[in-house]
Structure 1
Amino acid sequence: METKNRKLVDQLEEILEKNRDAEKGYRKAAENAESHGLKAFFDRKSNQRKQFNESLKRELVANYDEIDDDGSFTGTMHRAWMDVKAFFSGDNDESMLEEAIRGDKAAVEEYEEVLKEELLPMSVGTIIREQLMKIKADLNQIKSLEDLKD
């Protein structure tokens, strides 16, 4: 595979890995959340990231044949950190929500970086843009979630 294509495929595989990690992290957060509203939010986010990966992976396989999409070590560490925060934090829901915000902000940066790539197939770019808009919309709604902690 050409070096430029390899770099792009590596970036897209990283998004797949981080989405899989986010799916698991949000599922774990839903299990640990005390607020019913936050449980529902984290469940929705987990399902959303699973759907993100299903559609993105389908398109990547169509464009690049082989895709490596195992979960990342960093993501495993992130989930472990969320477990520790949930156990030790005086305000579990708030800590998990802050961690979710941090993760989504990082995802926005990665998605925007991929969209700068000239070799990005139009079909993959469309999926990346749609997913990016959903992540940004969730970040904009997070302020209202602080009311759900009660």
Structure 2
Amino acid sequence: MRYTEKISNKLNELLELTYDAEKGYKLAAAKVDSPTVRNFLNDRVKQRYTFGHELKAEIQEFGQLPDKGGSVKGDLHRIWMNLTETLSSNGTEKMLKEVERGEKASLEAYNEILNDSDMVLPPSTEQILIRQRDAIQAALNTSIMYEELVS
């Protein structure tokens, strides 16, 4: 496998997670009662949309094609979100817990790529990934704060 292909494959994995996160945030925003939490979630939808475009551009810079959709795992997670919200007395808290779970998985994927000593990323790609990872961490911290407020 060529070096550029290896990087673009890793970026496509992040892109898939980004699609999943965007869809998950949309679902969560539709399920919560709190306008403040809903605004936070809708802002994350827009953020992930932007992340997706940035990742697609980087993948294309490597001469590869970006993936077009999310993952089966993400689809299953959203089904679980629907089910837990239906069965829960506090849907907002449950949605935030599921958002938290997805964000932790995203952080893990970003850190795996950024810390892979076998793959030296071009500085522009590394900067994008660090900025996106840091934004995901900030969103995770905020969702945890909201979760504590609504519980």
- Say how many residue pairs are matched: 149
1:5/1:119 contact within 8 Å kept: no
Unmatched segments (≥5 aa) in structure 1 = none
The structure 1 segments of at least 4 consecutive aligned residues displaced by more than 4 Å after TM superposition are none
TM-score relative to the length of structure 1: 0.89
The answer to whether residue 149 in structure 2 is matched with residue 139 in structure 1 is: no
Any conservation in 1 of the 2:17–2:71 contact (CA below 8 Å)? yes
Cα shift at 1:135: 0.9
Give me the TM-score of the superposition, normalised by structure 2: 0.89
Residue aligning to 2:18 = 19
Q: Could you say if the C-alpha distance between residues 60 and 6 of structure 1 is closer, same or farther in structure 2, counting changes exceeding 3 Å?
A: closer
User: Equivalent residue for 2:72?
Assistant: 73
Task: Tell me the residue number matched to 1:48.
Answer: 47
Higher relative contact order (CA 8 A, sep 6+): 1
Identity of aligned residues (%): 36
Partner Cα distance (1:94, 1:22) in 2: 17
**Alignment deviations for residues 69-115 of structure 1 (CA, whole Å, 9 cap, x no partner):** 42111111111111111111111010110111111111111001111
AA aligned to 1:32 is K
Matched-pair contact (CA < 8 Å) for 1:13–1:68? yes
Gaps of at least 5 residues in structure 2 are none
CA contact (8 A) 2:29 2:42 kept: yes
| Counterpart position of 2:112 | 113
